[in-house]
Structure formats: C-alpha cells, structure tokens
Amino acid sequence: MKLVFATNNQNKVKEVQSLLPSHITILSLKDIGCDEDVPETQPTIEGNAIQKAQYIKKHYGYDCFADDTGLEVKSLNGEPGVFSARYAGTQRNADDNMNKLLHNLKDKKDRSAHFKTVIALILNGKQHTFTGICEGTIIKEKRGEQGFGYDPIFVAEGFTETFAEISLEEKNRVSHRGKAVQKLIHFLSTKN
C-alpha cells in the first residue's frame, strides 16, 4: 500500500516511517511533485489535518494522510496550540518558539502541558481521523540534541529526560504522534 504523507517536515516523515510496517510505503510531497505550501488555515489542530489531506486528494488525486500537532499548555489557556509552529512568528523557528514559551511561563507554577496530534486519512473516498495525546511538563531550560520543535523543553509523564534526550524508539512508544500513528496502523491493517 502506498500513501502520501502530506508534509514537508522530514523529521515527521522519519518518525512515522520508522513506525509503519514494511507493506506501507510513504510518498512525500516531493515524491508527488508538490512543492507548494499546503494550506493550514483552520482554527483547530483537527481542522488543519483534515484541510491538508483534502487538499492533496483534491489537487493531486492520491489517497493520503496529513497530521497536525500542537503543544497545549494548561496555564496559558492552551497556547501555543494550533499556532505551535509559528508561535514566535511566521519564520517558524523552533528556538524562537521555545524561548517565547519559556518567557510566557516564567511566573507560572503550573507547567503541565500536552502534545496533541491529529492524523486525517483519506482512503478510498472516505475520511478518518486518529488522535494521540502525550501528557507532560514544560521544564525551565532546553536539554538534549535529539528530536525537533519543542522536544528540548518537554518531559513526558513517567520520564525525567526531555523528548530531545531520549531515542526516537523511546519517543515513538509514548509520544502523541506515535499514539496517533499506532491508531492509523491498526486501522490500515484491517483494510488488508
């Protein structure tokens, strides 16, 4: 089975491909000749995932899936949420985003947060969504060299290391994206 993963983020492609069984092959946007920015203008994480998947199906004709992920911090009323990638501006710089979040949290006692991923799949003309959530805490300084995005300041429940300090395999077992992808894989395995 071949599916397009509607993302230009090669870190996401690597994470998801490492989780998928060998009979599922991911095609990237580059593989299908899509070099445009796929719109994500919806007010929710789920809405953005659906919008991206529908765009690829409509304009390129492929069965596909798309994800959108946000970090939601309790004491900031769910910020950065749907704006996680561009929290500090349209330049989408991870360090800028983390610095802004750490600044906004500096006087907050409650540093609890969760990552939320929604995957929207369009397969055989039908749409399905899969959600994964990973609870955790935002620490006060960046730690670690692995991962991407907010990984250096996020510690998942049950861990003492940040997502940037653990292996990709460990992260995939507990992460928001890992949980959503496992639901996707389970669904796809019932289609064979």
Q: What is the pLDDT of residues 134-143, one digit of tens each?
A: 999 999 999 9
pLDDT reported for residue 192: 56
Q: How far is residue 65's CA from residue 87's CA, in Å, rounded to a whole number? A: 24
Predicted confidence (pLDDT) at residue 73 exceeds the cutoff of 60: yes
Mean of the pLDDT values across residues 92-117? 96
In the chain, pLDDT over 70 holds for what percent of residues?
99
As beta bridge partners, residue 120 has 66, 129
The set of residues, in sequence order, having a beta carbon less than 8 Å from that of 170 and lying 6+ positions away, is: none
The set of residues, in sequence order, having a beta carbon less than 8 Å from that of 16 and lying 6+ positions away, is: 5, 26, 177, 181
Domain that holds residue 69: 2-189
pLDDT reported for residue 7: 87
Q: What is the CATH number of the domain that holds 96?
A: 3.90.950.10
Domain count, the chain: 1
pLDDT band at 8 (very low <50, low <70, confident <90, very high): confident
Q: How far is residue 156's CA from residue 52's CA, in Å, rounded to a whole number? A: 28
Q: What is the pLDDT of residues 24-51, one digit of tens each?
A: 888 989 999 999 989 999 999 999 999 9
pLDDT band at 168 (very low <50, low <70, confident <90, very high): confident
Q: What is the pLDDT of residues 172-192, one digit of tens each?
A: 899 999 999 999 999 988 775
pLDDT band at 164 (very low <50, low <70, confident <90, very high): very high
Choosing from 63, 68, 95, 96, which is the catalytic residue? Answer: 68
23 or 89, higher pLDDT = 89
Note if 68 is an active site residue. Answer: yes
Q: How far is residue 40's CA from residue 111's CA, in Å, rounded to a whole number? A: 28
16 or 163, higher pLDDT = 163
Average pLDDT, the chain: 93
Predicted confidence (pLDDT) at residue 82 exceeds the cutoff of 60: yes
Looking up tokens 């994500």 gives: 40
Q: Do residues 70 and 116 lie in contact, with contact meaning Cβ atoms separated by under 8 Å?
A: yes
Q: Do residues 116 and 176 lie in contact, with contact meaning Cβ atoms separated by under 8 Å?
A: yes
Q: How far is residue 116's CA from residue 13's CA, in Å, rounded to a whole number? A: 17
